[in-house]
Structure 1
Amino acid sequence: MKEKYSGLDISQFISSILIIFIHSGRMFENDLAQFILKSGLCRIAVPLFLITNGYFYRKMSLSTPNYLPTYVKSQLKTYLLWSIVYLPYGLQMLSTFNIEAKYYPLALIFALLYLGVCYHLWYFPALIFAIWLVEKLKKYLSYKLLLVLGFILYSFGALETYSSYTRGTALGQMFDQYKSILFTSKNGLFFAFIFILLGFIIHDFQQAKIFKQNILVKLIISIFIYCLEGKVIFNNQGYDKNFIFSLIILVPIIFLLIIQSKFKWNKSWILRSYSKKLFLLHPMFLEIIKVSVENSGVEKFQGFPLFISTLSSCLVCIFIVDKIINSSIFNHRILKIPKL
């Protein structure tokens, strides 16, 4: 991204911090405060990442012939590298399930293709699959039909969020059977597809009136709708809170406001670099800190202390590594951290 997207650099850095919030456990004793932070504010982060990826993939694909294989290869390289880094964690997690050791290779293949060997790495197979699927389907279907398809897929995924409302029904039983096999609907088909698609649409029609007029008014209305849906979810909480229908409206409007902003900061690339590294590194620091503190006698280390210690440790590590990389002693190419 160039400097004219300074707002996106800042928003991605904030989004990375919100993701650390999500993974840091319970923040507040009060249920409503906890819900507002983690199931309200923080849930904007991943859809914003996905729309951004969709937008810039579409931008590059129009100027670079046969860009899809290049993009997929780049993402796969990053994904496989960090899967190796987090493989010990994945093996440790496998040991907590009732799985015979001889089935570990199959379980790891399933994790690589779907869940990720660490809880944040699901993003890569979801991103790659969604980009590939949107790119292929748009050759045969209009954006209107793709939006309808995306909404239907998202609606099925939302049975995870709204499971308390469908419990005991045929729909609820169907989703429970799905969940017993594939664990979650937060994947490239049901979750990432519609946000990648929205990134494509925003890129292709960003000069249309609907994307240019009364954006602030639309933001206020979408936040109001988001709060109303949040109240519905809070009153009867399902398995998880990843799927919120109003995110489909709210996050594109936020993205539009950011890319239409005239704000510029020549150093915004620093935050862009830090956001990628924060996303990739934070589970390593989070898990090491949590286990170390709990082994010292603390019953359960989570919330703001875990968040602050994880964030500060990551930032210090990134700063030191960047200094080493930029020094004359090391070649930049050797230690370069792959892009998201």
Structure 2
Amino acid sequence: MSKVLNGNLDAMKVLLAVMVVALHCKLLGGNYTWAGYLLCNGLFRVAVPTFFIINGYYLYQTLSGGHSFAQWFKRVLLIYLFWMLVYSPQYVDPATIASIGGVLGVLKSLLIGYFHLWYLMGMLGGGVMLLVLRHWRSSVLIGLALVAFLIGLGLQYARVYFELPNGFLQHFNQNDYTARNFLFMGFPFMAIGFLCARHQIAQRVGRRGIWCWLLLGLGLTLAEAGLNFALRADVEQNFDFLASLLVITPALFLLPMVYPRASESNFAAKLSSAVYYVHPWFILGALSLGMSYGNSMAGLVLALAFGVAPLLILASRRVRFIL
């Protein structure tokens, strides 16, 4: 018997993947215009944390259903290694690979994840943490997740608005991966999904309540992004962390859960993964041809990514670690 999926949740995953592409293509001017900033450093930042919530939700089902965590971990790891190989020309320098520095650079990339692939490392690390903590009380899990998130949020805002007194710490905190990693983002948001599944939150909340929650989160997200833009935050710095993400992302995740649509097809879920994994190659190709970031690039990259996605989905039926 085919596994019954929530078609609306999978459709939302496609929308989240589109947000990631639009963000990376700097839609509407990206960080340099008011509208672009509200989207690229505001609304579109819900995408990856919401993906993490979905991952945590399904991880709970995997563990509570008696399925193998090792199999889950192996599958995600193989996908990660495959796509790291696909993007290896971007972080492996043939001229230095034989040197100690070159090898260390490659190892660093493998530990952090190239560009968008950090998400998979965040999922793996967050999954291991939840495996270890899975029997802990929910109140403790909430506390740990909140502390981890607040540390990441603090590092994010310090990177943009403050100069740390220690030179090494200041230099270290200028890297995206200092805050954006499995500990400060992957684990907290996966824990939200994990706890939503444990306590069956979707069955306990009403549709009206979810809409009010979502609208509140949307308002807070746009207000936070607008305030950062008004304060002339360093436009070269991206906001992976926003305080309002803790409000909007659980509501966004729960929205399709309170409007379930039974589906036996995983095409939409695979489509979202394919678009997410492959799109940077089209961005790199567009840049190499002299195209600038912006709306035209976003349209082109989305068209190419969606065009190639069915081929990747077809290939993944034979080689499962592609998607």
Q: TM-score range by the shorter chain?
A: 0.7 to 0.9
Contact kept, 8 Å, 2:156 with 2:179, in 1: the verdict is no
How far does residue 256 in structure 1 lie from its aligned partner after superposition?
A: 1.1
Query: 1:281 corresponds to which letter in structure 2?
Result: V
Contact kept, 8 Å, 2:43 with 2:222, in 1: the verdict is no
- The alignment status of 1:193 with 2:187, answered yes or no, reads yes
How far does residue 160 in structure 1 lie from its aligned partner after superposition?
A: 4.1
Q: Could you list the per-position Cα deviations for residues 249-303 of structure 1 after superposition, in whole angstroms to 9, with x for gaps in the alignment?
A: 2111111111110445666x32222111111111122212221x12xxxxx5211
Give me the whole-angstrom Cα distance separating, in 2, the residues matched to 1:165 and 1:278.
30
Count of aligned positions: 317
Aligned to 1:329: none
How far does residue 209 in structure 1 lie from its aligned partner after superposition?
A: 7.9
For residue 120 of structure 1, give the secondary structure of its aligned residue in structure 2.
helix
Aligned to 2:279: 282
Aligned to 1:301: 292
Aligned to 2:60: 58
Give me the whole-angstrom Cα distance separating, in 1, the residues matched to 2:249 and 2:275.
21
Which of the pair has more CA radius of gyration? 1
Identity within the alignment, %:
21
Give me the whole-angstrom Cα distance separating, in 1, the residues matched to 2:225 and 2:116.
24
Aligned to 1:103: 101
For residue 111 of structure 1, give the secondary structure of its aligned residue in structure 2.
helix
Could you tell me which runs of 5 or more consecutive residues in structure 1 were left unpaired when the two chains were aligned: 295-299, 327-331
Give me the whole-angstrom Cα distance separating, in 1, the residues matched to 2:321 and 2:78.
11
Q: Could you list the per-position Cα deviations for residues 34-75 of structure 1 after superposition, in whole angstroms to 9, with x for gaps in the alignment?
A: 11121122111101110001001111111124x221111111
Task: Provide closer, same or farther for how the CA distance between residues 200 and 289 of structure 1 changes in structure 2, counting only shifts above 3 A.
Answer: same
- The within-5 A match list for 1:160-239 is 160-163=155-158, 167-168=162-163, 176-179=170-173, 183-207=177-201, 211-212=205-206, 214-236=209-231, 237=233, 239=237
Task: Provide closer, same or farther for how the CA distance between residues 100 and 153 of structure 1 changes in structure 2, counting only shifts above 3 A.
Answer: farther
Query: 2:53 corresponds to which letter in structure 1?
Result: I
Aligned to 1:83: 84
How far does residue 107 in structure 1 lie from its aligned partner after superposition?
A: 1.3
Query: 2:103 corresponds to which letter in structure 1?
Result: P
Could you tell me which runs of 5 or more consecutive residues in structure 2 were left unpaired when the two chains were aligned: none
2:268 to 255, 266, 271: 271
Q: Could you list the per-position Cα deviations for residues 63-101 of structure 1 after superposition, in whole angstroms to 9, with x for gaps in the alignment?
A: 124x22111111111111111111111125x98xx9994
Give me the whole-angstrom Cα distance separating, in 2, the residues matched to 1:200 and 1:322.
27
TM-score (normalizing by structure 1): 0.82
Task: Provide closer, same or farther for how the CA distance between residues 82 and 40 of structure 1 changes in structure 2, counting only shifts above 3 A.
Answer: same
How far does residue 165 in structure 1 lie from its aligned partner after superposition?
A: 7.1
Contact kept, 8 Å, 1:205 with 1:211, in 2: the verdict is no
Give me the whole-angstrom Cα distance separating, in 1, the residues matched to 2:45 and 2:100.
37
Task: Provide closer, same or farther for how the CA distance between residues 276 and 181 of structure 1 changes in structure 2, counting only shifts above 3 A.
Answer: closer
For residue 60 of structure 2, give the secondary structure of its aligned residue in structure 1.
helix
Task: Provide closer, same or farther for how the CA distance between residues 197 and 20 of structure 1 changes in structure 2, counting only shifts above 3 A.
Answer: same
How far does residue 4 in structure 1 lie from its aligned partner after superposition?
A: 4.5
The farther-off stretch of 126-135 and 173-182 is 173-182
Query: 1:56 corresponds to which letter in structure 2?
Result: Y
Aligned to 1:317: 308
How far does residue 119 in structure 1 lie from its aligned partner after superposition?
A: 0.5
Give me the whole-angstrom Cα distance separating, in 2, the residues matched to 1:193 and 1:176.
24
Aligned to 1:134: 130
Aligned to 2:322: 338
Give me the whole-angstrom Cα distance separating, in 2, the residues matched to 1:137 and 1:143.
10
Contact kept, 8 Å, 1:24 with 1:306, in 2: the verdict is yes
Task: Provide closer, same or farther for how the CA distance between residues 166 and 282 of structure 1 changes in structure 2, counting only shifts above 3 A.
Answer: closer
For residue 180 of structure 2, give the secondary structure of its aligned residue in structure 1.
coil
Give me the whole-angstrom Cα distance separating, in 2, the residues matched to 1:218 and 1:180.
33
